[in-house]
Copies of this chain bind each other. A is one copy, B any other.
Amino acid sequence: MTATITAFKASPDRGRGLARDMQVRWALEEVGQPYDVRLVTFAEMKAPAHLALHPFGQIPTYEEGSLSLFESGAIVLRIGESHPGLLPADRDARSRAIMWMFAAQATVQPPIVELTMSAMLERDEPWFATRQPRLEQAVRDRLSQLSARLGEADWLDGDFSAGDLMMVTVLRRLGSSGIVGDYPNLAAYVARAEARPAWARAFAAQRAVFEAASNP
């Protein structure tokens, strides 16, 4: 049964693979499952039909037969539980992979979103110059801790897992800020993930949506 996901018709990231459909596309590519995409406008995301699928009016959603999910972490976990390639077979190792998924979403992502949203929305505010370094420091505190834990390893816990998939996509949200580059092992970690064929296929697929929207 081919799943259907939703993604932005016109992604605000301009095809850089920072929107959260990237996590779901990448997970589906890692496990070799085809998928259909339904593109939604911002207006459609706030309309009743989409809110029935996603109460917070966001993307992505995931529909597979009678199952309907939102939250990229939960969707990636469902995909990982349904097909080999994203979660270890060993029960304890699987719990640790899921731990890194939650760490990406609940601990590493919030200061990154706060920093990038402030950079986008508060640039002309009188407090911007004072607050921005504090927000950046909060991000750096997290990255220092993550860098210390990763050390010289290729992935966060043994083989590549859904935990790495979530963490890399969160780190990529720092985009062109250059912050990740100050942590060489984290920069290499992101590059290692981007070198995976499944990542490249997912990136190309979301990029194609942006290019089609730009050259209608």
Question: Is A103 on the interface with B (CB-CB < 8 A)?
Answer: yes
- By the criterion CB–CB under 8 Å, are A145 and B55 in contact? yes
B106 x A55 contact (CB < 8 A):
no
Are A55 and B99 within 8 A (Cβ)?
A: no
- Tell me the A135-160 residues at the B interface (CB within 8 Å): 142, 145-146, 148-149
User: What residues of chain B lie closer than 8 Å to A69, measured between beta carbons?
Assistant: 95-96, 99
B113/A71 in contact, CB under 8 A: no
A59 interface residue, CB < 8 Å from B?
Answer: no
Query: Does B101 lie within 8 Å of A74, measured CB to CB?
Result: yes
A107 interface residue (CB < 8 Å to B): yes
Option from B67, B106, B125, B142 in Cβ contact (under 8 Å) with A106: B106
Does A110 sit at the interface, judged by CB under 8 A?
A: yes
Task: Determine whether A131 belongs to the interface, using a CB cutoff of 8 Å to chain B.
Answer: yes
Q: Which residues of B contact A56 (CB under 8 A)?
A: 103, 107, 142, 145
A78 touches B95 (CB 8 A): yes
New contact pairs (5) apart from A56-B103, A56-B107, CB-CB < 8 Å: A69-B95, A78-B95, A78-B98, A102-B102, A126-B127
